[in-house]
């Protein structure tokens, strides 16, 4: 009886699913599989980017991180916050205690006037977090034509292949290809937006932020757009996961130990089972007492 | 249960004798997973996954309790405290990655455990109760996994909570009030986050309780085995300890190697980048998907795109998704074949592998975007899924002619004289 | 583990390698179980250390104060490591009182000079945490009871501290703790 009900139920679900299939197939046959879109046709995957922190043995390139920090400080921080990173974290980039203090003091963080209690700003201390350029999202939207600049703390983890994505986006601005306009005449980049094939919908609110020699690197590296984009991608890889290198470094001894223990366990298992492995006249294990 | 030849627990010293008299816990352990539990001698490595699943629960409870020490279930700070764990707490990154990947590995192990049950028909009498409890555990795990994924309060967390509670909105009449009641509001917010945290903390302990029942029920008939032939004599069994403790120990080592390789070197591989964006109720991510372990059922949910007679497509999808798991509850009574193991059921075995392929397809399609041709494939795969369990299994079990079974486990392992002779002849013929 | 070896080793028809073989095989079992034990203990390291102060808490462990504006006889409460810190500028009379006491007769013998910095003998910086069970003593704010010795008084269990913050009467075992600090300028103090 239960099997009759089951067969009936099974046929019900199967027919319902096939009904959806037939309806869908009919629509596909009469109207095609949906129109090709400009986003789909012209979106590009990120370019290759090699960072010292890549791979299972990756290490931070501290000089590059310092350069990237300089780019963030002098360019990105005008619009983008980085609220999960503390100024004290700069010590990871190879700055000593005094340098971190001095660097922190360069940032103006929100404070309270000790006499009146009114909101004011004061020089940052290492324990402070990176200040946001806007007091709130409404202000950020108002200042940027309604496009809120995303927080950059986690940006390289919040995008597929994030480090390469940031690098590609920063170096990917270009004129809209003529082929695109030919194929999709309605997809002209709107005023106030900027064509960038690495951005998911191709039209980005952020104007090209980097120009050659925009920053002057202390270590004498030439500040090309490509160099700055690589450096800031490396820096944002660090901000997204400052513990990444520590994580990889911890992993090796753990895996090494586990491999050793597993090999031991394999031989122990073999040894225990040696007593009952198939033999013509097997005597099953008996208890001792 | 006990086989008459099971080894008896004998306390070796005064203290243990005292314990045995007052609180026979060592005796219980001895009889449950010690030398006092006779187990078929022919279990293969697919029988390791029960113990591994138990180990996963331990990993999840230990790391979960630690994360709860640093996390705050408040929509204002949930994302920030998660980042605090990643950045400031000593080994916090390890705890969080171990927990997030632990959930994935838990489900991987559970799926293999279930598929083993499908192939060897572990659900059949006298083991129906073990199977039913197992399905309950699976449902509890899915609920726990979903609730836990909401806690970091990223974009996927938020929209996952919204979409999954939205499923209940498909129920006629009571649906929408039910959804509002579940969320404690009109969209996921503090109320939802806080109750999800509370329930996410509770359910693993409920699960642990049901696991105890699952193991208890297992010890009534004893473990099944790859031949599906029941234990007949002492020579069919070996004591759980040391034979299967040693085998499980090795299996655990292999499991931990793969698990920690993921935790330390690819911790975000199974996650979704959008969950590193803080929840934003005003903007839905372009492509929302649940965690991979829900994909087959998510594919079934999305397969229903057309109204079926008077049943709206949305309700149909929800019905099908829940039914896809609930039908497992009646599986023991659908498969009437007297033979358990797929090794001796040629027709059943073909359909089993088709089901595995079908599940693989559903896994893939559940993670794919809701576009053609993915949706059409998922409709076919969904149809097969239901046909397999509800139509094919009952019919196959009636029409199939199984291959002859070995007389006993011992014979299957060692080979009878007859087979040995046949084997010799075969080699001569060649 | 004894179980393992005895059960496996009992079947003498199988183990034929002789004494050496048995011992070598026992060794593998013992090694495997020991490795599991070592792994278990190593796992405890992160499980235990996650409870100690996190990086953001440790970063808060120093505080800067301007003591220039405190008048003699006045005290302020500051916060150091989430605990109250008393900063007090002693009057000449209070300094005299503190110095008049024979330090060696005290429960926790210390002179005022040992509890202040050279050149700033009138600036007494102590934790505002009673050394008995951690209550905040009275006496820092204007109008609070200063106890029988004119310093601080802890109302929880009646500990009296003198003008140098030394325990004089009551259950507290030691003087109010003087945290590590230094004058970075004439008036600015860095604590911790």
In CATH, what number is assigned to the domain containing residue B360? 1.20.810.10
Gap between the Cα atoms of B293 and B363, Å rounded: 8
CB-CB neighbors (< 8 A) of C52 in chain B? 90
Gap between the Cα atoms of A39 and B74, Å rounded: 37
Q: What pLDDT is attached to residue C46?
A: 95
Burial code (b: 16+ CB inside 10 Å, e: under 16) for C128-142 equals bbbbbeeebbbbbee
Gap between the Cα atoms of A218 and A103, Å rounded: 14
Gap between the Cα atoms of A221 and A236, Å rounded: 19
> Confidence class of residue B355 from pLDDT cuts 50, 70 and 90?
very high
Whether pLDDT at C21 is above 60: no
CA-wise closest residue to B304 among B331, B290, B322, B288: B322
Q: What pLDDT is attached to residue C24?
A: 62
CB contact under 8 A, A285 and C10: yes
Gap between the Cα atoms of B92 and C53, Å rounded: 12
Chain B touched by A131 (CB under 8 Å): no
CB-CB neighbors (< 8 A) of A257 in chain C? 35, 38-39, 42
CB-CB neighbors (< 8 A) of C36 in chain B? 249
pLDDT in tens, B78-101: 999 999 999 999 999 999 999 999
Question: Does residue B412 form part of some domain?
Answer: yes
Question: Does residue B20 form part of some domain?
Answer: no
Supply the ipTM of this predicted assembly.
0.92
Average pLDDT over every residue of B47-56: 97
Q: Nearest-CA distance from B403 to chain A in Å?
A: 23
Domain count, chain B: 1
pLDDT in tens, B308-354: 989 999 999 999 999 999 999 999 999 999 999 999 999 999 999 99
Gap between the Cα atoms of C6 and C2, Å rounded: 6
Tokens at B373, concatenated: 């041709």
CB-CB neighbors (< 8 A) of B69 in chain C? 50-51
Chains that touch A (3 or more CB pairs under 8 A): B, C
Q: Nearest-CA distance from C55 to chain B in Å?
A: 5
Q: What pLDDT is attached to residue C22?
A: 55
Question: Does residue B375 form part of some domain?
Answer: yes
CB contact under 8 A, B253 and A258: yes
Tokens at B135, concatenated: 């399905």
Does residue B291 carry a catalytic annotation?
A: yes
Gap between the Cα atoms of B291 and B305, Å rounded: 22
Question: Does residue B220 form part of some domain?
Answer: yes
Chain B touched by A285 (CB under 8 Å): yes
Q: What pLDDT is attached to residue A214?
A: 93
pLDDT in tens, C99-122: 988 888 899 999 999 999 988 888
Determine the structural domain holding residue B255 and report its residue range: 35-422
Whether pLDDT at C61 is above 80: no
Average pLDDT over every residue of B51-68: 97
Does residue B70 carry a catalytic annotation?
A: no
Q: Nearest-CA distance from A37 to chain B in Å?
A: 13
Q: Is the peptide bond before B29 cis (omega within 30 degrees of 0)?
A: no
Gap between the Cα atoms of A79 and A149, Å rounded: 6
CA distances from B57 to B44, B50, B65, B109, B255 (A): 23, 11, 12, 11, 14
Closest residue in A to C12 (Cα) is: A275
> Confidence class of residue C23 from pLDDT cuts 50, 70 and 90?
low
Q: What pLDDT is attached to residue C64?
A: 80
Gap between the Cα atoms of C115 and C89, Å rounded: 13
Side-chain-side CA neighbours of residue B356 (13 Å)? 14
Q: What pLDDT is attached to residue B418?
A: 47
Q: What pLDDT is attached to residue B372?
A: 80
> Confidence class of residue A50 from pLDDT cuts 50, 70 and 90?
very high
Question: Does residue B4 form part of some domain?
Answer: no
Given B70, B84, B219, B314, the catalytic residue: B219
Chain B touched by A142 (CB under 8 Å): no
Burial code (b: 16+ CB inside 10 Å, e: under 16) for B145-181 equals bbbbbbbbbbbbbbbbbbebbbbbbbeeeebeeebee
Extended strands (E) in chain C = 63-66, 75-80, 83-89, 123-127, 150-154, 159-162, 167-169, 181-183, 188-191
Q: Which of C9, C46, C49, C51 to mutate to test the interface with B (most CBs of B within 10 A)?
A: C46
pLDDT in tens, B276-317: 999 999 999 988 899 999 999 999 999 999 999 899 999 999
Q: What pLDDT is attached to residue A193?
A: 92
Whether pLDDT at B424 is above 60: no
Q: Is the peptide bond before B171 cis (omega within 30 degrees of 0)?
A: no
Q: What pLDDT is attached to residue C20?
A: 52
Q: What pLDDT is attached to residue B3?
A: 85
Whether pLDDT at B212 is above 70: yes
Question: Does residue B23 form part of some domain?
Answer: no
Q: Whole-number mean pLDDT of chain B?
A: 92
Write out residues 146-185 of B within 8 Å (CB-CB) of A.
none
Per cent of chain B over pLDDT 70 is 96
Question: Does residue B428 form part of some domain?
Answer: no
Q: What pLDDT is attached to residue A35?
A: 74
pLDDT in tens, B397-412: 999 999 999 988 888 8
CB-CB neighbors (< 8 A) of B67 in chain C? none
Given C120, C132, C157, C160, the catalytic residue: C157
Q: H helices within B225-327, ranges in order? A: 245-265, 295-303, 313-326
Question: Does residue B28 form part of some domain?
Answer: no
Lowest mean pLDDT among A251-255, A270-274, B258-262: A270-274
Whether pLDDT at C16 is above 50: no
Average pLDDT over every residue of A30-55: 88
Closest residue in A to C7 (Cα) is: A287
Per cent of chain A over pLDDT 70 is 96
CB contact under 8 A, B66 and C47: yes
């Amino acid at each position: 009886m239960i099997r009759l009900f089951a067969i009936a139920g099974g046929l019900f679900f199967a027919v319902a699913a096939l009904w959806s299939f037939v309806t869908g197939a009919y629509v596909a046959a009469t109207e095609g599989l949906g129109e090709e879109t400009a986003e789909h046709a012209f979106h590009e995957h990120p370019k290759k980017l090699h960072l010292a922190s890549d791979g299972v043995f990756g290490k931070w390139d501290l000089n590059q991180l310092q350069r990237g920090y300089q780019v963030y400080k002098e360019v990105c921080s005008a619009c983008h916050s980085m609220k999960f990173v503390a100024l004290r974290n700069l010590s990871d980039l190879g700055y000593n205690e005094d340098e971190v203090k001095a660097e922190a003091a360069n940032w103006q963080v929100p404070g309270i006037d000790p006499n009146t209690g009114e909101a004011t700003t004061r020089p940052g201390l290492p324990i402070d977090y990176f200040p946001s350029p806007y007091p709130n999202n409404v202000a950020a939207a108002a200042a940027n034509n309604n496009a809120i600049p995303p927080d950059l703390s986690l940006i390289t983890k919040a995008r597929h292949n994030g480090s390469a994505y940031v690098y590609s986006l920063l170096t990917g601005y270009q004129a809209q290809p003529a082929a695109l306009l030919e194929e999709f005449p309605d997809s002209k980049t709107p005023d106030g937006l900027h064509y960038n094939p690495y951005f998911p919908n191709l039209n980005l609110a952020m104007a090209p932020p980097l120009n050659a020699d925009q920053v002057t690197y202390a270590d004498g590296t030439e500040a090309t757009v490509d160099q700055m984009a690589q450096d800031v991608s490396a820096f944002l890889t660090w901000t997204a996961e400052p513990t990444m290198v520590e994580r990889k470094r911890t992993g090796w001894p753990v895996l090494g130990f586990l491999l050793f223990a597993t090999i031991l366990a394999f031989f122990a298992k073999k040894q225990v089972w040696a007593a009952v492995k198939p033999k013509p006249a097997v005597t099953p294990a008996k208890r001792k007492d | 249960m006990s086989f008459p030849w099971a080894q008896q627990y004998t306390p070796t010293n005064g203290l243990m004798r005292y314990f045995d008299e007052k609180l026979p816990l060592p005796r219980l352990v001895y009889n449950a997973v010690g030398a006092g539990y006779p187990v078929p001698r022919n279990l293969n490595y697919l029988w390791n996954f029960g113990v591994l699943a138990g180990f996963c629960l331990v990993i999840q409870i230990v790391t979960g309790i630690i994360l709860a020490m640093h996390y705050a279930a408040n929509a204002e700070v949930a994302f920030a405290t998660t980042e605090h764990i990643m950045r400031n707490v000593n080994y916090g990154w390890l705890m969080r990655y171990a927990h997030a990947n632990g959930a994935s590995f838990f489900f991987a192990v559970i799926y293999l455990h279930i598929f083993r049950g499908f192939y060897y028909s572990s659900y059949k009498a006298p083991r129906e109760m073990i199977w039913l409890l197992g399905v309950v555990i699976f449902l509890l795990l899915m609920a726990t996994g979903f609730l836990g994924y909401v806690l970091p309060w990223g974009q996927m967390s938020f929209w996952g909570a919204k979409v999954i509670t939205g499923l209940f909105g498909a129920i006629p009449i009571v649906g929408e009030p039910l959804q509002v009641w579940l969320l404690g509001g009109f969209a996921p917010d503090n109320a939802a986050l806080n109750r999800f945290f509370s329930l996410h903390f509770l359910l693993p302990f409920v699960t642990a309780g049901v696991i105890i029942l699952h193991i208890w029920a297992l010890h009534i008939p004893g473990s099944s085995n790859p031949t599906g032939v029941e234990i007949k004599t002492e020579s069919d069994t070996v004591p759980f300890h040391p034979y299967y403790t040693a085998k499980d120990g090795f299996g655990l080592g292999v499991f931990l190697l793969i698990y920690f390789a993921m935790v330390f070197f690819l911790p975000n591989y199974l996650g979704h980048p959008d969950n590193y964006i803080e929840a934003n109720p005003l903007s839905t991510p372009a492509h929302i998907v649940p965690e991979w372990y829900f994909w087959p059922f998510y594919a079934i949910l999305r397969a229903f795109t057309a109204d079926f007679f008077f049943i709206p497509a949305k309700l149909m999808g929800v019905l099908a998704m829940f039914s896809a798991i609930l039908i497992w509850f009646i599986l023991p009574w659908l498969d009437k074949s007297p033979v358990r193991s797929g090794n001796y059921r040629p027709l059943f075995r073909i359909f089993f592998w088709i089901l595995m392929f079908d599940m693989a397809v559903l896994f893939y399609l559940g993670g794919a975007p809701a576009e053609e041709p993915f949706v059409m494939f998922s409709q076919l795969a969904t149809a097969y899924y239901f046909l397999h369990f509800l139509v094919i299994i009952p019919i196959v079990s009636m029409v199939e002619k199984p291959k002859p079974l070995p007389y006993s486990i011992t014979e299957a392992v060692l080979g009878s004289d007859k087979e040995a002779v046949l084997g010799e002849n075969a080699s001569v013929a060649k | 583990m004894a179980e393992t070896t005895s059960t496996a080793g009992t079947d003498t028809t199988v183990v034929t390698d002789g004494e050496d073989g048995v011992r070598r095989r026992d060794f593998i079992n013992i090694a495997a179980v020991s490795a599991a034990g070592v792994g278990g203990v190593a796992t405890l390291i992160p499980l235990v250390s996650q409870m100690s102060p996190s990086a953001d808490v440790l970063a808060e462990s120093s505080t800067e104060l301007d003591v220039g504006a405190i008048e003699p006889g006045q005290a302020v409460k500051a916060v150091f490591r989430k605990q109250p810190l008393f900063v007090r500028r002693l009057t000449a009379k209070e300094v005299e009182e503190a110095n008049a006491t024979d330090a060696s007769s005290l429960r926790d013998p210390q002179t005022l000079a040992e509890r202040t910095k050279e050149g700033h003998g009138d600036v007494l910086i102590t934790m505002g945490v009673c050394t008995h069970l951690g209550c905040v003593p009275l006496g820092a704010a204007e109008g609070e009871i200063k106890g029988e010795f004119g310093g601080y008084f802890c109302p929880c269990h009646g500990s009296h501290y003198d003008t140098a913050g030394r325990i004089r009467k009551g259950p507290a075992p030691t003087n109010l703790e003087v945290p590590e600090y230094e004058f970075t300028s004439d008036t600015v103090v860095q604590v911790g």
